[in-house]
Structure 1
Amino acid sequence: MDIRGFYAITDEVLTPYQDGKVFLMVEKALRGGAKFIQLRDKTTPLENLIYLALELKKLCHKFNAYFIVNDRVELGARVSADGVHIGKDDASLAEVKKFFKGPIIGVSCYGDIKRAVEAEKQGATYVAFGSFYPSPTKPNAKIVDKNIIPMAKKILKIPVCAIGGITLEQAYELVKLGADMIAVISDLWKSEDIEEKARAYAKLFNYV
């Protein structure tokens, strides 16, 4: 399984559900070369997300991309998502593995290498570090030193994802430092041309 590439994360405001806008926007990102699509919705009742999640998964598979569910492990299991992504306030990795049998489990590690090492030991597929820059979607997130990426790459065998306030201009440096994935919300969905922006992010992984 090739866990590398551009990672697009949906947002309840920036990728609205009404009129199927989310599907049109995600398809543009996939056409541009997004390798991962994460459904990130912390508030909508689970039952109301099942159709959305199944359709997004179908769309991802049409473009040979992976469909990931953020936090909501039960939703990930119900729709047989390719992966789930958990943070520090979610269930432990051991608990997640009891419910979720998909191939990918990502773990947010913020700026904590020890947490990443522990996650790898417990069977995480990849770890994410950040926020590396001020993030419009997580304004209170603590800023993490970019050098955590090469540090983590020396210690870990699993892929490393960079997240948090990243723009295209900053992404190149993070990939150069060793990030296997670049996860983006605002810079992608606020773009005038989503497909073109996704393509520019995807291309970074060909150069480094």
Structure 2
Amino acid sequence: MKCDKKDLLLYAVTDRHWLNGRTLYEVVKESLDGGVTFVQLREKTLDEETFLEEAKELQKLCREYNVPFVINDNVDIAAAMDADGVHVGQSDMEAGDVRAKLGPDKIIGVSAGTVEEAILAEKRGADYLGVGAVFPTGSKDDAIDVPHETLKAICEAVSIPVIAIGGISQQNVSELAGSGICGIAVISAIYAQKDIKKAAEDLKAATVKMVESK
């Protein structure tokens, strides 16, 4: 499965923190029903065996919806379960090394915070870039802000799709109009909401509007 720009419109990143007694499968299904176009499984605390099991279940679910499913950071798990791809940070692994490990058909996303990082990631074979944090965020303690001018400069410097991440909500997504991004990645704007399906629907509508307004 290759990465299509339109698949990156509403990119959901999972977070076990917001489950409130529900399973990850249930909340991801709700978000897919609400129109999420891409899912990234982000797990920092699970042991490998449980992680692999969970990843396989979610992969199957995403295939039913024809939505790309990637693993955060863990290239070995992504390879072991034949995920659609992986998302890595600048320091996790060079995109070229990931490509060698996963093969030519997998989606590789790379986080970038500067124009230099973005150009390098594209050169090394990234399929898309996740740029942020574009707003202050509570999901990551070390998130530094990427000014909107930098976001725009990154979009202009590379030819691969760019999505923005970090503190994005239905309230502020319109502020990203004209930056050149093709979508947004969110965690709490979907998974921390009471009605996940509705949150995804509303956010998707707002994002479509933002992407289309120049």
- Find the counterpart in structure 2 of residue 165 from structure 1: 167
Residues of 2 paired with 1:93 and 1:190: CA distance?
31
**Which of the numbers 82, 100, 107 marks the counterpart of 1:104?**
107
- SS for the counterpart of 1:69 is strand
Higher mean alpha-carbon deviation, 66-75 vs 151-160, is at 151-160
Residue by residue over 1:90-137, the C-alpha shift from the partner in whole angstroms, topping out at 9 and shown as x without a partner, is 121122112112421000012x11010011111100011111122111
- Provide closer, same or farther for how the CA distance between residues 175 and 30 of structure 1 changes in structure 2, counting only shifts above 3 A: farther
Q: CA deviation at 1:165?
A: 1.2
Following superposition of structure 1 onto structure 2, how do residues 53-92 of structure 1 map, counting pairs within 5 Å? 53-92=55-94
Residues of 1 paired with 2:48 and 2:91: CA distance?
18
Residues of 2 paired with 1:122 and 1:155: CA distance?
15
- SS for the counterpart of 1:138 is coil
- Provide closer, same or farther for how the CA distance between residues 86 and 160 of structure 1 changes in structure 2, counting only shifts above 3 A: same
Residues of 1 paired with 2:206 and 2:25: CA distance?
25
**Which of the numbers 138, 143, 146 marks the counterpart of 1:144?**
146
Q: Which amino acid aligns with 2:93?
A: A
- Find the counterpart in structure 2 of residue 181 from structure 1: 183
- Find the counterpart in structure 2 of residue 10 from structure 1: 14
- Is the CA contact 1:30–1:63 (under 8 Å) kept in the aligned structure 2? yes
Give the gaps of 5 or more residues in structure 1. Answer: none
The percentage of counterpart residues that share the same residue type is: 35
RMSD: 1.6
Q: CA deviation at 1:22?
A: 0.8
- Find the counterpart in structure 1 of residue 39 from structure 2: 37
Q: Which amino acid aligns with 2:108?
A: I
Q: How many residues align?
A: 205
Residue by residue over 1:152-207, the C-alpha shift from the partner in whole angstroms, topping out at 9 and shown as x without a partner, is 22221100010111111111222542221211111211112111111122223433
Give the gaps of 5 or more residues in structure 2. Answer: none
- SS for the counterpart of 1:64 is coil
**Which of the numbers 125, 128, 148 marks the counterpart of 2:127?**
125
- Provide closer, same or farther for how the CA distance between residues 50 and 93 of structure 1 changes in structure 2, counting only shifts above 3 A: same
Residues of 2 paired with 1:198 and 1:80: CA distance?
27
- Is the CA contact 1:7–1:35 (under 8 Å) kept in the aligned structure 2? yes
Residue by residue over 1:3-34, the C-alpha shift from the partner in whole angstroms, topping out at 9 and shown as x without a partner, is 33100101121247x76x11111011101110
- Provide closer, same or farther for how the CA distance between residues 204 and 178 of structure 1 changes in structure 2, counting only shifts above 3 A: farther
